[in-house]
Amino acid sequence: MSEVICPYCGTPNLPDAKECKYCHKPLSTRQDGEMTPPGSDNLDWLANLRGADRDEPWQGESAEENQGSRTPGGPEEDDVPEWLERIRRRSMEDRALQEMQTPPLEDRPDEQSLSSPDKEGDLPDWLKISEEPQPPFPSPEESEPLGEEIDHAGQTAPTGTGETPFPADLGEFDLGMEETSPSGEAPDWLEQLKAEKSQAEFDTGELDLPLDLEGKETPVDSGTGMSEGEEIDFEAAPEFLEQAGIEDFTTEFPDWIEESTPEGGDSDFLEKPDKSLPDFSATEDIGMKEDIGFPPVEQLPAEAQPETTRQTEIDRAAAPPRRDADIEPARLPGWLEAIKPIESVAPARFSAEADNQTESRGPLAGFQGIIPGSYPVTKYPKSAVPALKMQVTEKQRVYANLLENLISEEAKPLQRKVEKAAAPSELLRFFVGIALVGLLAFMLFSGIQLGSLPGLYSPDTVAFFNTIQQFSQVQNPPARILVAVDYEPALAGEMQTAARTPLRQMLASGGQLIMVSTVPAGPALGEQLVADAATDLPVFQPDLQVVNLGYLVGGSTSLASLAAQPSIAAPALTSGSPAWDLPLLQGIQSVADFDGLLLMTDNAETARAWIEQVQPSLAGKPLLIISSAQSAPIILPYYQSNQVQGMLAGLSGSAAYEQLAQIGASKTSSLWGAYQAGILFVLGAILLGGLVYGIRALFHNFSRKRA
Amino acid sequence: MRAPLSTAIAIAAGIVVLLGYFLPVPELKMIRSMLIDWAVIVAGIAGLIAIIHLVKVHIKKLSSEQNRDYYSLITLIAFFFTLAAGLLLSPSDQRFQQVVTSIQVPVEASLMGVLAISLTYASIRLFQRRKGWMPIIFAVSAVVFLILASGFLSIADQVPLVKTLMSALNMLPVAGARGILLGIALGSLTTGLRILLAADRPYSG
């Protein structure tokens, strides 16, 4: 190693440095140069137990010092290793302390056996054996049978010391050391010890096989020819007790169990659940060991193992081979039976009644002796689940509810509100129809006038009248007016009534009308309109004054084409003959060559198309509109913006025009009375209906309040 | 873009027509006129296709085994009769024009008469169907403008206050109509720009 890492600050230092160049803390180096913090004693407990291994590369002692302690067969007292001395010292201290707290010796054979060697200044056999040099950490092949024996017999008590000086997972640490070796192999010293130990046991026939707790065949001891669990007679007095002259040996509970026994020594109490004792049958292995307070037995060091176990092992090694017939059947004490590891791992045995029970439900129905399905459910209560209740404020709760409502409303289909419609009254509908038709017919045929013709004239009507008068005054040549007949046959009555008088005036003055239409029925309606307007005109010459260019296909597109090139947009008459060869259309190259444009429409969209597409091409020539009453409000803004020079709207506009033209009796005046009567009828219907249903609603509310 | 060629043609045509309105370039004006004439021809052909489709639909409805519509037979008879009359007599013939003036005008006028009766009946039940302030406002406005349109107030034309009041009331629908027209103009402008910028491609399917 080329440098030394300070254990305190991690600064690299020179190999021969005594203290850290950064933090000035002392650097204690091991042989291999690795650092060990001076105060690092986290492995002291392990070092106490593994005293023989302190000369290993990760310990701080020299190899020469440890060589003597590791030498096998060193029987001299001076050569006793340090770890063994510590164990002995601690054992003696514990025994001295125990003697001060224990009852007389005759009542406690175990304690007597422990104390007698001390009195005699001699070591017991089991402790002598421990003096033999053994590897501090037996190989798994060795440690497992040993630990198993301890499991069977050694869990009676941790030798009365109260607690063990090492953690409970020592055995696991051992295995981990072997398994987690960086190279995947055990250290050389461990391999050597395992090899020596295995060879020695094989030679002496003491090779212990592990006992399988999962029900496999129990290994048989090669020395005795019997299984390990059966050969141990715990009722018999150990040999060392017999040597000590103690014959009154009884298997009783140790004090630490007796103290916890509620009824004082009844060994059957463990079979009954008692709150004063941990439930070993229902506790897992690890939990049981933790409850008892001592580590797993297989992790106990040799000196901490119970005397019975050690003595049994000694007896087994020293006893001659016995035949099976001479072997007394093994019989464990009740208290030991109760705390056997196999019993603690496995759940409590079911009663004979449960064994004979036949399953009546589930997939195992009909089988006998199976574990009842309901037993584990009742045996192991449901673990308490902590309540996960979020603490939220009232505002957060409101927001959460709002979000939840939003999400739920999104998933719901939209509910259509079904309005409660009143049932139509056939009688009322019939009465309204008959009354309206009868009233209008009466007014038309009777000629009764409810009021005079309108005396107030709107500005658009006046402008229309003035423009028509200008057209009528144009002579030599007469005015050529482009007339667009763009109304539907349904409104022909209103439109013809409104347009009749202006057209008649223009035709009377010799004006020339060139008719086009963007409505399929428009050419026919135009012919009918002209024929109606020219009725009884003495100077009317249809062939010289009227040209019908027919239907323009394409709506507003055709209007754009007409505005650009009229001869291309409407090249022929309705009869199919060329139109632009006629003398009436000579000199017409564009719409600006006409003296004006008269648009007759019942549709505001059509009026807008004409205004947008054709009006800019008129070059200041007047655009007049005769519209229905329903579309007049939409067209009127164009008049106010001077895009339209005059407008005549509906029957009222026609009446006003006739008033301005000072025309006496006409078709308009004959219709005016029926028109006013119809308006009065509708006004009366609205007022009467509102009155009736208003009163009904009042009475309904009143009766509901009374009820 | 699903139809780049169609989009390019549409944008180019729109720009040429638009420039033809603003720039006094004879070539642009000629191209614009040509494109518009093409559009008129296409519209005429579309009209023919629509007529053929109409006849096909009514033939299908008439020949259907389930829910056979015998009114389609009347439609087909009227169509073929009018077509034959137009081809034989031409639209300028007085007898052919009688088809429009003596059949179509009375039928559509009758529908308008039925509409008038239905509206009158609905005006009676106006307060039965709707409750609240809106029916009252609608009824009041309808009554006011019916009175204005009836000409009954012309007897008070010499009263200055009545004349001023009538002029003010007549401006109310005009104001509303102007707002509608402004909205239509803005919508048309936006639609044209979207087509020119290929944001809307109705021609691409």
Encode pLDDT of B81-91 as tens digits: 989 988 888 88
Q: Which of residues 139-178 of A touch B (CB under 8 A)?
A: none
pLDDT attached to residue A121: 46
Q: What is the DSSP string of B95-160?
A: HHHHHIIIIIHHHHHHHHHHHHHHHHHHHHTHHHH--SHHHHHHHHHHHHHHHHHHTGGGGGTT-H
Structure tokens at A667: 């078709």
Nearest beta carbon to residue A693 from set B127, B147, B178 = B127
How far is Cα B106 from Cα A123, in angstroms, rounded to an integer?
139
Is residue A473 within 8 Å of residue A500, measured between CB atoms? no
The dihedral built from the CA positions of residue A157, A159, A160 and A164, taken in this order, carries a sign that is negative
Helical pair A170-179 and A140-153, crossing angle rounded to 10 deg: 160
Nearest beta carbon to residue A679 from set B29, B100, B150 = B150
Is residue A17 within 8 Å of residue A2, measured between CB atoms? no
**Taking CB atoms and an 8 Å limit, are A437 and B32 in contact across chains?**
no
**Taking CB atoms and an 8 Å limit, are A489 and B184 in contact across chains?**
no
Q: Which of residues 440-479 of A touch B (CB under 8 A)?
A: 450-456, 458
Structure tokens at A97: 């302390």
pTM for the full predicted model? 0.54
Is residue A588 within 8 Å of residue A563, measured between CB atoms? no
> Which residue, among A562, A472, A576, has the nearest Cα to A523 in the 3D structure?
A576
A271 inside 8 A of chain B by CB: no
How far is Cα A149 from Cα A316, in angstroms, rounded to an integer?
12
Is residue A591 within 8 Å of residue A482, measured between CB atoms? yes
User: Which residue of chain A is at minimal alpha-carbon distance from B111?
Assistant: A490
Nearest beta carbon to residue B105 from set A489, A558, A575 = A489
**Taking CB atoms and an 8 Å limit, are A422 and B44 in contact across chains?**
no
Which letter does DSSP use for residue A624 in this model?
Answer: E
E strand residue ranges, A572-677: 596-601, 623-627, 646-649
3-class SS of residue A537: coil
Give the residues of chain A that fall short of pLDDT 50.
1, 30-43, 51-77, 105-121, 129-184, 205-230, 261-294, 297
Distances (CA, A) of A575 to A551, A571, A622, B89, B96: 12, 12, 29, 9, 11
> Which residue, among A535, A515, A537, has the nearest Cα to A526 in the 3D structure?
A515
**Taking CB atoms and an 8 Å limit, are A428 and B124 in contact across chains?**
yes
Alpha carbon dihedral A211, A212, A213, A214, in 10-degree steps, equals: -170
Give the residues of chain B that fall short of pLDDT 70.
1, 157, 204-205
Is residue A291 within 8 Å of residue A360, measured between CB atoms? no
CA distance A403 to chain B (A): 33
> Which residue, among A213, A437, A428, has the nearest Cα to A340 in the 3D structure?
A213
3-state helix, strand, coil in chain B (%, to 5): 85, 0, 15
Distances (CA, A) of A271 to A153, A264, A277, A278, A281: 18, 15, 11, 11, 9
CA distance A420 to chain B (A): 8
How far is Cα A353 from Cα A368, in angstroms, rounded to an integer?
11
What is the enclosing helix (H) or strand (E) of A13?
strand A12-13
Nearest beta carbon to residue A682 from set B129, B146, B177 = B146
CA distance A522 to chain B (A): 9
Pinpoint the alpha helices (H) of A247-306: 255-258, 285-292
Chosen from B96, B100, B124 to mutate, greatest number of chain A CBs within 10 A: B124
- The CA-based diameter of chain A, rounded to the nearest angstrom, is 168
Structure tokens at A442: 């009466």
Distances (CA, A) of A492 to A98, A574, B103, B121: 130, 20, 12, 24
Residue A233: Cβ-neighbour burial (10 angstroms; 0-12, 13-18, 19+): middle
**Taking CB atoms and an 8 Å limit, are B126 and A576 in contact across chains?**
no
CA distance B66 to chain A (A): 32
The size of chain A, in residues, is 707
B139 inside 8 A of chain A by CB: yes
Chosen from A517, A567, A634, A658 to mutate, greatest number of chain B CBs within 10 A: A634
3-class SS of residue A680: helix
How far is Cα A423 from Cα A432, in angstroms, rounded to an integer?
16
Nearest beta carbon to residue A686 from set B33, B91, B139 = B139
How far is Cα A238 from Cα A113, in angstroms, rounded to an integer?
9
Find chain A residues with C-beta within 8 A of B191's C-beta: none
- Would you put residue A626 in left (φ > 0), alpha (ψ -120 to 50) or beta? beta
Query: Residue A675: CB partners within 8 Å, gap ≥ 6?
Result: A651, A652, B150
Nearest beta carbon to residue A524 from set B39, B97, B173 = B97
Find chain B residues with C-beta within 8 A of A523's C-beta: 91-92, 97
Query: Residue A628: CB partners within 8 Å, gap ≥ 6?
Result: A487, A491, A494, A495, A498, A601, A602, A649, A650
CA distance A508 to chain B (A): 23
How far is Cα A455 from Cα A461, in angstroms, rounded to an integer?
12
- Would you put residue A651 in left (φ > 0), alpha (ψ -120 to 50) or beta? alpha
E strand residue ranges, A451-588: 480-486, 512-517, 546-551
Residues A240-290 pLDDT 10s = 656 655 555 555 555 665 555 444 444 444 444 444 444 444 444 444 444
**Taking CB atoms and an 8 Å limit, are A521 and B90 in contact across chains?**
no
B70 inside 8 A of chain A by CB: no
Structure tokens at B185: 């103009």
How far is Cα A65 from Cα A67, in angstroms, rounded to an integer?
6
User: A153-185 burial, b for 16+ CB within 10 Å, e for fewer?
Assistant: bbbbbbbbbeebebebebbeebbeebeeeeeee
User: Which residue of chain B is at minimal alpha-carbon distance from A569?
Assistant: B37
A524 inside 8 A of chain B by CB: yes
pLDDT attached to residue A434: 92
B181 inside 8 A of chain A by CB: yes
How far is Cα B37 from Cα A569, in angstroms, rounded to an integer?
8
Count how many pairs of residues, chain A against chain B, have C-beta atoms within 8 Å.
185
Looking from the CA of A308 toward its CB, the CA atoms found within 13 Å total: 29
How far is Cα A57 from Cα A34, in angstroms, rounded to an integer?
10
